[in-house]
Amino acid sequence: MTLTFYKYQGTGNDFVIIDNRALIFPKDDTKLVSSLCDRRFGVGADGLILLENDPVEDFNMVYYNADGNQSTMCGNGGRCLVAFAKELGIINTETSFNAVDGLHTAKIENGQVSLQMSNVSEVQKKPNSFFLDTGSPHHVQLVENLKDFDVAKEGAKLRYGIYGASGSNINFVEQQTEDTFAVRTYERGVEDETLSCGTGVTAVAIAMHNAGNTNLNDIRIETKGGELSVRFINGVNYSDVYLTGPAVLVFKGNMEC
Query: Nearest-CA neighbor of 108 among 90, 133, 130?
Result: 90
- Per the document, the length of the chain is 257
Q: What is the dihedral of CA 225, 58, 107, 68, to 10 degrees?
A: -10
**Is the backbone of residue 55 left (phi > 0), alpha (psi -120 to 50) or beta?**
alpha
Neighbour count for residue 196 (Cβ, 10 Å): 28
Residue pair 7/15 in contact by the 8 Å Cβ criterion: yes
218 C-beta neighbours (distance < 10 Å), count: 13
Task: Tell me the C-alpha distance between 213 and 179, whole Å.
Answer: 9
Q: Is 197 a catalytic residue?
A: yes
Query: From the candidates 37, 74, 80, 257, which is the catalytic residue?
Result: 74
Among 159, 148, 149, which residue's Cα sits nearest to residue 192? 159
Provide the 10 A C-beta neighbour count for residue 234.
Answer: 15
Task: Burial-class residue 134 by CB neighbours within 10 Å (0-12, 13-18, 19+).
Answer: buried
**What's the rounded Cα separation, in Å, for the pair 222 and 220?**
7
Active site residues: 74, 197
